[in-house]
């Protein structure tokens, strides 16, 4: 009987000690590491991004300086022309480095000729100023088109890298896929960001130039009016 009880008595074993879970260490990527993970295609995208920002800032400053309008210029020119001081009027506008002053100067230089010649000269001078303000803006339009395409090339390269690594290692794991996804998403994101910056700068600068062109037309009209009916 004792032997039977011994056989049915459960054997008590010591439970293994629970090992504490390994703490997860968070890894924060800085911008440089993020760009490096984007692969070689990030080099031309980064160059285009810097160039787009530089062109935006440079053209914004240049256009703002050239497109300044002085509401006192036309009345001052009118007073000098009415009093016959053509040389003083020329000296006045030539000391001002704005598109408005150069357009008016071209009109003063043709005084004494037919009205058609004066109008043509004013229009030509205004067109030259507009073209000068538009100089180099075409590069921003090119960047706006090229940068997203480079990002798309990076996306294709990332997908190719994923399938190549899978075929070589014969293993579908997160570590294999993530390296290609990094390259794919980073290049796409930075390509689109560069394109947006270039696209926005291109159109904002053109809007500013269009407003300046309208102001130059008004200044030309005011000049023609005062030489037609001097008081």
Per-residue pLDDT of the chain in tens (231 residues, 90 and over written 9): 434 434 444 444 444 444 444 444 445 556 566 666 667 788 889 899 999 999 999 999 998 888 888 888 888 888 888 787 888 888 888 888 888 889 998 888 888 888 888 888 999 999 999 998 998 899 999 999 999 998 888 777 777 776 777 777 776 766 666 656 666 777 888 889 999 999 999 999 999 999 999 999 998 888 888 887 645
Measured CA to CA, the distance from residue 186 to residue 89 in angstroms comes to 59
Q: Is residue 88 part of a domain?
A: yes
Tell me, what's the pLDDT at 143? 94
What total number of domains does the chain contain? 1
Chain centroid to Cα 23, Å, comes to 43
Tell me, what's the pLDDT at 181? 67
Query: In degrees, to the nearest 5, what angle opens at C-alpha 188 toward C-alphas 185 and 189?
Result: 85
DSSP for 45-107 reads: HHHHHHHHHHHHHHHHHHHHHHT---TTHHHHHHHHHHTT-HHHHHHHHHTS-SHHHHHHHHH
Q: Is residue 25 part of a domain?
A: no
| Domain span holding position 179 | 40-58+71-228
Measured CA to CA, the distance from residue 83 to residue 67 in angstroms comes to 29
Q: Is residue 34 part of a domain?
A: no
Measured CA to CA, the distance from residue 60 to residue 42 in angstroms comes to 27
Q: Is residue 13 part of a domain?
A: no
Tell me, what's the pLDDT at 37? 65
- The predicted model scores a pTM of 0.71
Tell me, what's the pLDDT at 2? 37
Q: Is residue 50 part of a domain?
A: yes
Q: 33 and 42 in contact (C-beta within 8 Å)?
A: no
Tell me, what's the pLDDT at 209? 92
Tell me, what's the pLDDT at 159? 73
Tell me, what's the pLDDT at 67? 85
Tell me, what's the pLDDT at 203? 94
Q: Is residue 87 part of a domain?
A: yes
Q: Is residue 6 part of a domain?
A: no
Q: Is residue 28 part of a domain?
A: no
Tell me, what's the pLDDT at 31? 57
């Amino acid at each position: 009987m004792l032997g039977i009880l011994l056989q049915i008595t459960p054997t008590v074993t010591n439970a293994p000690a629970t090992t504490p879970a390994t703490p997860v260490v968070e890894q924060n990527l800085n911008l440089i590491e993020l760009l490096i993970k984007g692969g070689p295609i990030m080099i031309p995208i980064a160059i285009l991004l810097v160039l787009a920002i530089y062109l935006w800032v440079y053209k914004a400053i240049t256009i703002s300086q050239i497109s300044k309008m002085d509401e006192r210029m036309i009345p001052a020119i009118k007073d000098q022309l009415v009093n016959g001081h053509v040389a003083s009027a020329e000296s006045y506008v030539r000391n001002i480095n704005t598109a408005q002053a150069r357009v008016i100067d071209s009109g003063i230089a043709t005084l004494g000729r037919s009205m058609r010649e004066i109008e043509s000269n004013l229009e030509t001078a205004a067109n030259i100023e507009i073209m000068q303000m538009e100089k180099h803006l075409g590069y921003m339009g090119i960047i706006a088109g090229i940068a997203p395409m480079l990002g798309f090339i990076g996306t294709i390269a990332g997908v190719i890298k994923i399938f190549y690594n899978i075929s070589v290692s014969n293993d579908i794991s997160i570590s294999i896929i993530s390296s290609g996804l990094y390259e794919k998403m980073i290049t796409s994101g930075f390509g689109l960001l560069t394109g947006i910056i270039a696209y926005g700068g291109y159109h904002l600068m053109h809007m500013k130039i269009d407003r300046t062109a309208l102001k130059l037309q008004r200044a030309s009209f005011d000049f023609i009016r005062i030489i037609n009916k001097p008081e």
